[in-house]
Amino acid sequence: MEYLVLWEVSKKQRYIFASNKLVENKGASYIIEYITEELPGEGYRGNLIYGGGGGSLYRFPDEAAAREFVGEISKEVLVNYPGIEVFMVTQPYDAQKPINQTIQEVYQKLGKKKGQRKHSGYQISFGIERRCEATGFPASFIVKDDKDKKYVSCELHTKQANSKNSTGKLKRLVPDERLLKQFEELKDEEKNYMALVNIDGNRMGKMFNDLLSYFDFSQGNIEEKNEEYIRAVKKLSDNVKIAYENAFIHMNVPLDS
C-alpha cells in the first residue's frame, strides 16, 4: 500500500524574527525555503505532490520508503539546522479510495501531533557555558561585530552563514542593481532607518480546498481521478510560486523607470 508523508516547519515566524537583524532574518527565511523545497533533492522530486510555505506533501510506494524519507530529512535538519522545529506524519493511502479523504486525515494527524508536542521540553544549558545573547543557547562560535567580539549559538551562526546563500535568489528577484546598492548607502547616512515589511500569503489553504469542488470522486475511475487531482494540486502549487515571484519582481521596479 502507498503512503503519504506530510511535513511542516513549525513556528516559522518565531524562527525568522528571533532577532532584529536583517541578515539573520534573511538567512532564517532562506533556511526554511531550502529545507522544504530543496533539501529532499532530485531523488524525491517524483514523490512530491506539492510543497512550499514551510510544508510539503509526498507520496511513496510503501511504508518503508516513507519512513526512510522521514529519517533522512529528520537527521539532516537535526544535525545541520539547529533551532528548526519540524513535524512529520505518515498515512496509508489506498489509490482505490478518494485521495482527498486521505489528505484530510493526514492533515488532522499532523494537527494532533503539533498539539501534543511530546518532545518540546529539552535542556537548554547546564549553567556553565557562555550564552548567546540573541537565542539564549550556549555559544559555539565567536564572530566579529564591528570591533567587538560576539559569542553566538549554532542557530545564529547557521542563519548568518545561510544569509549569503540567499544572495543569488535576491538578485534574481531584485534585478535592478540600484536597489541593492541603496541598502549599502543607508549605513553611510546620518539617519539610516529602514522599514522591514513581511509579506505572507493569506487564506492559501482555502485556495487549495476550493480546488476540490472541481472534482467529483463519486463517479468514474477513482484511481484516475486521484491522479488528475494530484496533477492539478501540483500545478496550482507551482503557479502560486511563479505568481509570487513575478509580483515581487514587479513590485521592485523603480517608480521613475
User: For the chain, which residues make up each domain, given as ranges?
Assistant: 2-117, 126-162
SS in 3 state form for 21-66? Answer: CHHHHHHHHHHHHHHHHCCCCHHHHHHEEEEECCEEEEEECCHHHH
Residue 120 is predicted with a pLDDT of: 58
Give the whole-angstrom CA distance, residue 134 versus residue 151.
Answer: 10
Which residue do the cell numbers 496550482 mark? 236
Pick from 238, 255, 245, 165: nearest CA to 199:
245
Which residue type does 206 have?
K
Taking only the tens place, the pLDDT of each residue in 175-193 is 665 555 555 565 565 666 6
Taking only the tens place, the pLDDT of each residue in 107-145 is 899 989 888 766 656 667 777 778 887 777 888 888 887
Which residue type does 123 have?
Q
Helix or strand or coil: residue 57? strand
Name which CATH class applies to 2-117: alpha beta
- Which parts of the chain sit beneath pLDDT 70? 52-54, 117-123, 146, 166-167, 175-205, 253-257
pTM over 0.85: no
* CB contact at 8 A, 83 and 68: no
Residue 24's alpha-carbon distances to 60, 89, 234, in angstroms, are: 35, 29, 31
